[in-house]
Structure 1
Amino acid sequence: MMGGRREGALMRNSNAQSLRKSRIAIAIAVGIFLGAVFAFLYPHGIFVPSRPPLRNSISQVVPTSCESSERLNMLKAEFAAVSEKNAELQKQVNELTERIRLAEQAKDQAQKQVLALGVQHKAGPFGTVKGLRTNPAVVPDESVNPRLAKLLDKIAVQKEVIVALANSNVKEMLQVWFTSIKKVGIPNYVVVALDDAIAEFCESNDVPVYKRDPDEGIDSVGKHGGNHAVSGLKFRILREFLQLGYSVLLSDVDIVYLQNPFHHLYRDSDVESMSDGHNNMTAYGYNDVFDEPSMGWARYAHTMRIWVYNSGFFFIRPTIPAIELLDRVATRLSRENAWDQAVFNEELAFPSHPGYDGLHASRRTMDIYLFMNSKVLFKTVRKNDNLSKLKPVIVHINYHPDKLPRMKAVVEFYVNGKKDALKGFPDGSE
């Protein structure tokens, strides 16, 4: 009985284990089958986010690219507009700055005039007293020349203008002259044409030009005269400009402009002129000792010397002393066989003495490295590495007869950056 029960129990255990194994096998088989089904139906997995169809994707990318291109073009257009507006604003700022500077300058001059011409005052403390240097301007009189007054009203800036006289003898130099002015961007200039050909030449090149009314004496010299003869005319012609109330920067045509000269004037004197001096001493004055050994103890005599002002480039204000200067020089030149520059300097410099009343005109010497004559340039500046880096306001080819090639060389050197443009010329003339 005991053996029979033991065998029955073993059989039941064996059957239970077989059943468990069968269930596990079935579960594994079902799992494999379901895995295969899911693998077939979802080859990229169940949880991978769905992608839009290719057509939709392309349709979305293309508009985005177009929008970016259009946006870029809009930004470029906006940047260009802002840049243009900024340039215009900068120009206005520069103009306002210049006006403020001129206004302050005029205010200072007016205050000095009030102090000198108004109610009398006691002298101030030691070292604080300054005399009047700036004479008041004349009252403009447009009846002197209504046609010229109308022209100047259009082209002048702050009642100031560059004036040059020219006839056909200087046509090529005149072209270099006004081309340099245009390059710098100077708007207030005019050519006084002394013959019809120059008037037509200026008009064809969009250069402001003024042709005077017929004047037999002036026309004869103006049409056929050389440099010195034409130079003598300017003192008579300039008088009308001053009577109309305009300050004039008188300019010969053998000059190259590299900056706007009106930004470098002081306007505190009747005449501001460039110098023929070639260094600080000769241009601004020095104590020159004259030695006369026969005088023994008094052999040394001190003299004050200054090299002459250049009558081919000077700024003259519309004041009574300035107009008197023009009258004096023009009168002497009509009576004497003299050089206009010598007469110009004598009238400015000679003091009153027995039999002669000196001219009470104030004067200022321009900076010789800004308003440069050709001796300074070719003898000194071009040979000095530091000085040659400075950019002058103008260069006047007054010391050399080969004017046109030297003018062109100045343009090449200072404007076009050709470093050896000045090397081929001698210091002086040959």
Structure 2
Amino acid sequence: MAGLVGRRDKNSAQSIRGSRIVVAIVIGILFGGIFALLYPNGFASSNHSSQFQGRRLAKSILQIGSTSCESSELVNMLKSDLADLSTKNDELKKKVRDLSKKLMAAEQKNGNAEKQVIVVGEPQKAGPFGTVKGIRTNPIVLADDTVNPRLLKILKKVAVQNELIVALANSNVKAMLEAQVTSIKKIGIPNYLVVALDNEIADFCKENDVPFYTRDPDEEIDSVAKTGGNHAVSGLKFRILREFLQLGYSVLLSDVDIVYLQNPFDHIYRDSDVESMSDGHDNMTAYGYNDVSDDPSMGWARYAHTMRIWVYNSGFFYLRPTLPAIELLDRVADRLSHPPPAWDQAVFNEELFFPSYPGYIALHASKRTMDRYMFMNSKTLFKQVRKDGNLKKLKPVIVHLNYHPDKLPRMKAVMEFYFNEKHDALEPFPDGSDW
């Protein structure tokens, strides 16, 4: 009986030792997995402190089987070490984020990164041939209501679906503004706003129930706004329109030498940062063509192909409130504010169309040319449309008297021709100008 008891005690002791070994192995596997997650590249890439803690953990695991009375203290020590490692891991992640921010800031300063990054979706695989389409419509910016609360209050009343026509005017162009307002009211366009650059225009708007906005005093540009001619005032729009876009509104910028015959918002695609009417007078010049340059001195290589397009008209264009549209306004306004003097339409098109090259980073804005018969310039009207029986039946959205200096009488004739169906109203005028 005593022998039996002795064997039983011996077996129990062996069982306890075996259980301890199993526990040690299980804990070893557990912490081995933790180490693999925290240090995928091994301890060689860790700092000295982490290596020391790792050795402590390894040593502790080996000691697990020595005595059961130490297990509680050992578990607490392991938990403490694990917490320390987790804290250090969080600190490393924070350092990485800080370094990434500093790197991005440095790249932005050097002009080698976008000013703001917008994530538009997860990376995608390219589809089958002929099915791949790039992103054409940039997302709109988040509206900043703090930019100009007074203007925002006006826009909320005037705009329709967050878009409106904006015309700048001072007393020098009052007569043309009156003609334009007449056409606006004839069509019944509600979302039309005049930026009144002087008191006379503000008074005119009040008397004729035309929504208007007067800017806050600005010594730098007030003298131009109040006394400048058509081109000088035209250059101001790039600075003034910025706040409209920042507030989250799409803007159809309109010079005052434009007659409205239909609501333009029924004919805008809204798929690009910029939609503009063209100064082109046919399909090739309006939409682009391959032009061949000839240099006989080059012999066999005398012919060189070029791509050409007539400029966009900076007196009638639609801007969505996107980062590229705002950057366009900033670029043009900045160039026009520094010597040498430049024509706003030339600068507007250079920023839109010139590509990046050494020393220059181009604007990445999507563009759309408006239908040249719907958004018609006066060269197209007087040289082509009025002489064609079929084209005369078309009713454009607008007619822009941009090609002619006798703007007001031609504006009135256009309204007679299209509104009052006076078929000979355009006949007295020459194709071009007398000078």
Say whether residues 1:157 and 2:164 are aligned partners: no
Report the counterpart of residue 426 of structure 2 in structure 1: 422
Report the counterpart of residue 137 of structure 2 in structure 1: 134
Code of the aligned partner of 1:230: V
Report the counterpart of residue 286 of structure 1 in structure 2: 289
Code of the aligned partner of 1:177: Q
1:319 to 302, 318, 322: 322
Code of the aligned partner of 2:342: A
1:78-113 superposed Cα distances (whole Å, 9 cap, x missing partner): xxxxxxxxxxxxxxxxxxxxxxxxxxxxxxxxxxxx
Report the counterpart of residue 299 of structure 1 in structure 2: 302
1:230 to 227, 233, 239: 233
Code of the aligned partner of 2:196: A
Code of the aligned partner of 1:228: H
Code of the aligned partner of 1:429: S
- The CA distance in 1 between the partners of 2:190 and 2:281, in whole Å, is 30
Return the offset for 1:268. 0.4
Return the offset for 1:219. 1.1
- The CA distance in 1 between the partners of 2:265 and 2:191, in whole Å, is 10
- The CA distance in 2 between the partners of 1:116 and 1:284, in whole Å, is 32
Structure 2 residue matching 1:273: 3-state secondary structure:
strand
1:368-412 superposed Cα distances (whole Å, 9 cap, x missing partner): 000000000000000000001000000000000000000000000
- The CA distance in 2 between the partners of 1:116 and 1:225, in whole Å, is 43
Report the counterpart of residue 40 of structure 2 in structure 1: none
- The CA distance in 1 between the partners of 2:248 and 2:181, in whole Å, is 24
Return the offset for 1:121. 1.1
Structure 2 residue matching 1:153: 3-state secondary structure:
helix
1:303-355 superposed Cα distances (whole Å, 9 cap, x missing partner): 00000000000000100000000000000000030000000000000000000
- The CA distance in 2 between the partners of 1:198 and 1:292, in whole Å, is 54
Percent identity over paired residues: 79
Code of the aligned partner of 2:426: L
Return the offset for 1:116. 8.2
1:104-162 superposed Cα distances (whole Å, 9 cap, x missing partner): xxxxxxxxxxx982111100111011001110000000100000000000110010000
Report the counterpart of residue 360 of structure 1 in structure 2: 364
- The CA distance in 2 between the partners of 1:121 and 1:145, in whole Å, is 40
Matches within 5 A, 1:61-140: 117-140=120-143
- The CA distance in 1 between the partners of 2:246 and 2:120, in whole Å, is 22
1:270 to 270, 273, 282: 273
Unaligned runs of 5+ in 1: 1-114
Report the counterpart of residue 411 of structure 2 in structure 1: 407
2:255 to 245, 252, 257: 252
Structure 2 residue matching 1:301: 3-state secondary structure:
strand
- The CA distance in 2 between the partners of 1:116 and 1:369, in whole Å, is 38
Larger Rg: 1
Code of the aligned partner of 1:246: Y
Report the counterpart of residue 372 of structure 1 in structure 2: 376
- The CA distance in 2 between the partners of 1:344 and 1:120, in whole Å, is 34
Structure 2 residue matching 1:122: 3-state secondary structure:
coil
- How many residue pairs get aligned? The number is 316
Matches within 5 A, 1:9-88: none
Say whether residues 1:350 and 2:354 are aligned partners: yes
Report the counterpart of residue 188 of structure 1 in structure 2: 191
Does the 8 A contact of 1:373 with 1:396 survive in 2? yes
Structure 2 residue matching 1:213: 3-state secondary structure:
coil
- The CA distance in 1 between the partners of 2:314 and 2:395, in whole Å, is 23
- The CA distance in 2 between the partners of 1:142 and 1:193, in whole Å, is 22
Structure 2 residue matching 1:272: 3-state secondary structure:
strand
Code of the aligned partner of 2:421: G
- The CA distance in 2 between the partners of 1:265 and 1:382, in whole Å, is 25
What is the CA RMSD across the aligned residues, in angstroms?
0.9
Report the counterpart of residue 66 of structure 1 in structure 2: none
Report the counterpart of residue 394 of structure 2 in structure 1: 390
- The CA distance in 2 between the partners of 1:375 and 1:175, in whole Å, is 23
Report the counterpart of residue 110 of structure 2 in structure 1: none
Does the 8 A contact of 1:272 with 1:316 survive in 2? yes
- The CA distance in 1 between the partners of 2:254 and 2:182, in whole Å, is 14
Does the 8 A contact of 1:274 with 1:313 survive in 2? yes
Return the offset for 1:193. 0.3
Structure 2 residue matching 1:303: 3-state secondary structure:
strand
For normalisation by structure 2, the TM-score amounts to 0.72
Return the offset for 1:217. 1.5
- The CA distance in 1 between the partners of 2:124 and 2:331, in whole Å, is 34
Code of the aligned partner of 1:299: R
Report the counterpart of residue 311 of structure 2 in structure 1: 308
